[in-house]
């Protein structure tokens, strides 16, 4: 495949709650999907996306690494 068009990607990211200027770090189990998500965001015109090169499990194994969660009922 191919990535969706920049306009379609912008729409999907907006529906997910992302706005221009957000600092977002993507992650997955091995890094491939995280890199693809970051590439799609850049294609959509967002410029502050990063792909974390390790897994989320690696991040949370280090107690000094913060994890932010939405409060219940937030969306």
Cα Rg of the chain (Å, integer): 14
Output the CA–CA distances (angstroms, integers) from residue 7 to 1, 3, 32, 36, in the order listed. Answer: 17, 11, 23, 17
Would you give the distance in Å from CA 48 to the centre of its chain? 10
φ, ψ (nearest 5 deg) of residue 25: -115, 125
Q: Can you give the pLDDT of all 75 residues of the chain as single tens digits?
A: 788 999 999 999 899 888 878 888 888 877 788 888 888 888 998 888 888 878 888 888 999 988 887 766 665
Would you give the distance in Å from CA 46 to the centre of its chain? 11
């Amino acid at each position: 495949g191919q990535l969706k068009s920049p306009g379609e990607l912008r729409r999907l990211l907006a529906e997910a709650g992302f706005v221009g200027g957000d600092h977002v770090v993507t992650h997955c189990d091995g890094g491939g999907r995280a890199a693809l998500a970051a590439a799609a965001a850049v294609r959509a015109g967002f410029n502050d996306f990063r792909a974390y090169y390790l897994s989320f499990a690696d991040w949370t194994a280090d107690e000094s690494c913060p994890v932010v969660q939405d409060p219940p009922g937030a969306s």
